[in-house]
Amino acid sequence: MQAEKWNKERALFHANPPFVHTPQADLLLEAMDFLVTSNHQAIDEAKPALLLDGRAGQGKSAVMRHYLHSFHKEQAELRQRVQAPARGSRPIDVVHISMRSATNERGLAERLRDFLELPPFKTNERAMTNAVIDALFACNVKIVAIDELHFMGRSVAAGHRMSNYLKDLLNQSPCTFFFAGNDVLGSEIFRKNGQPDAAGEQFLSLVQPHAVRPFAIGDRNPEWMRTLAAIEGNLRLTRQQDGDLFYRCADVVWALTSGSWRSLAQLINQACARAIATGEERLTPELLLKIPLNALSATQSPKLLATLGDGTWTSLPEPANA
């Protein structure tokens, strides 16, 4: 019974591992923090916003969640130290929502309304938005984070309306806005015939884009190995040996994930589950090759696996004395 309980705890831990501070992630976190600490414009002045943009599965949402959690924790500890008397609305440091498929302006207003626990409005989108903005002021919200920005209406007309709506929010609210989405800048949401339209230009002029890329191995930098080493240090496998993941399995893991953060997290989680279930209790190339891949990785991995170990490529960095 004790072993079963421990195995369940390990499974939960491997499915929800600690945040890994890669060089790219730390640069993004620094940019987010700098924007929040510098956004002190007057209320009627639009504040710059930040966009995490890139392909699906590269860790945009993970970086955003980590920053929001850290910021909220910091603000909560600050309030405890100050012990200010409670008055007015309860403080809400961050608002974090995700867009749903083909979200329009009213849909976004409803998502914000629900997060802020405002009563339902049987009225138009403008009145609902005004109530949301009033709540952002009353609750002293510092950050509004909107994920899955690519889910806004896909047509140029829908993008035009949403551009105006988002710019309006940035102009009227007291918050710093973070956005994240898949290939937002390369889509037609804010563009017409490949160029920003008038509404898109207005919105994009307020947004600082930060590209979130997959891990790269072409220049044989140590980022991939260091990331795997950080992950390995958090594994709860009883027979795991130093270097099992970040050295002995580095190329196999690259071949199975192509450097995608989401694919990497899924692979390690399921590999750990198999290692525990079989009693192997360590990650090996043979075990990793038995793990089913997601559809995206499955289309890319065969050509990498076919050349695995033949000298065509490696994810390991150059030797220090090379």
Domain spans of the chain, in order of start: 2-16+216-306, 23-212
Tokens found for residue 130: 């005004």
Mean pLDDT of the chain: 89
Pick the closest to residue 304 from 186, 217, 203 (CA basis). 217
Cα–chain-centroid distance for residue 61?
2
CB-based contacts of 319: which residues, under 8 Å, 6+ apart? Answer: none
Mean pLDDT computed over 45-73: 94
Q: What is the pLDDT of residue 320?
A: 58
Predicted local confidence at residue 85, as pLDDT: 54
Closest CA to 49 of 184, 186, 180: 180
Rounded to whole angstroms, the Cα distance separating 27 from 259 reads 18
CB distance 18 to 287 below 8 Å: no
Average pLDDT for 188-205: 73
How confident is the model over 60-110, as pLDDT tens digits? 999 999 999 999 999 988 888 876 555 556 889 999 999 988 788 888 999
CA distance 196 to 194: 7
What is d(CA 35, CA 176) in angstroms, rounded to the nearest whole number?
A: 8
Radius of gyration of the chain (CA): 23
Sequence-separated (6 or more) residues with CB below 8 Å from residue 196: 190, 204
pLDDT in tens, 128-170: 899 999 999 999 999 999 999 988 766 666 777 888 888 889 9
CB 204 within 8 A of CB 190: yes
Query: CA-to-CA distance for 73 and 68, rounded, in angstroms?
Result: 9
Q: What beta strand segments (E) does the chain contain?
A: 49-54, 94-98, 143-147, 176-182, 191-192, 195-196, 207-212
**pLDDT on residue 205:** 87
Percentage with pLDDT > 90 across the chain: 61
CATH 1.20.1260.10 fits 23-212, yes or no: no
Question: pTM score, two decimals?
Answer: 0.89
The answer to whether 207 and 75 have CB atoms below 8 angstroms apart is: no
Worst-scoring range by mean pLDDT, 25-34, 38-47, 49-58, 88-97?
Answer: 38-47
How would DSSP label each residue in 38-53?
A: H----TTSPPPEEEEE
